[in-house]
Amino acid sequence: PPGRKVLIVYAHQEPKSLNGSLKSIAVEELSKQGCSVTVSDLYAMQFEPRATRNDIVGCLHNSEEFNYGVETWEAYKRGSLSSDLVEEQKKVQEADLLIFQFPLYWFSMPAIMKGWMDRVLVQGFAHEFPNCYDSGLLKDKLALFSFTTGGSKEMYAKGGISGDIRYLLWPMQHGIMHFCGVKVLAPHICFAPEYVSEEKRKEMLIAWAQRLKTLWNEEPINCSPEWYFK
């Protein structure tokens, strides 16, 4: 719907890749709907994945002993987080929908994207105990994980060698997004694009474009462990 804001956090080195195409389709399709779309292209930005002292501008809350969680929380309250973090937090704050686009690395997201999670979703900004899960500070937002795998759909079935793909989504969707109060739409998974025909890859892109047309009508998944482990 016109006026909705979308942030795509994108982690792939090659624009011509399938991930690059999936990202471009999302930009195009959502813009066509009148949404305003922002992309954080993490590799192009040379985004810093490491959580370090550099994330705090000026003096530390406790210069005797460095505690990243405490220091970034305090810095957030004082408005003294580093500018790259403030920039990303502003994009998150404004977004109605977050789309994470990436290739699956070792059953997880690439380090550069995990670093984005580690550094951007600061206490005080995204969560603040007891305000987590359903009362997380980013409630009223939606997230969608769109990713490619090396293994086939059969490998990631419940009885398959890699186990149910949903098991891998538990730390990403539940442990990060839902923890911060974000509601999660069903993931969009392109299985083993490297091992299928050009024709099949085109179909993957068409399926994503189709889904995006009616995305705003979708209901979020059930946020309980049941969705992942039933």
pLDDT digits (tens, 9 = 90+) for 23-37: 999 999 999 999 999
Q: What pLDDT score was predicted for residue 230?
A: 86
Q: What pLDDT score was predicted for residue 39?
A: 98
Q: What pLDDT score was predicted for residue 1?
A: 73
Q: Which amino acid is at 211?
A: R
| 190, two tokens | 């392109």
Q: How far apart are CA 136 and CA 67, in angstroms?
A: 22
| CA 230, chain centre distance (Å) | 24
| CATH number for the domain whose boundaries are 5-229 | 3.40.50.360
Decide: 82 and 57 in contact? Cβ < 8 Å.
yes
Mean pLDDT score across all residues of the chain: 97
The model carries a pTM of 0.97
Q: Which tens digit of pLDDT belongs to each residue from 69-89?
A: 999 999 999 999 999 999 999
Q: How many degrees, rounded to 5, is the angle at CA 41 between CA 57 and CA 166?
A: 105
Phi then psi dihedrals of residue 146, to 5 deg:
-120, 120
| 33, two tokens | 């709907």
Q: Which amino acid is at 154?
A: E
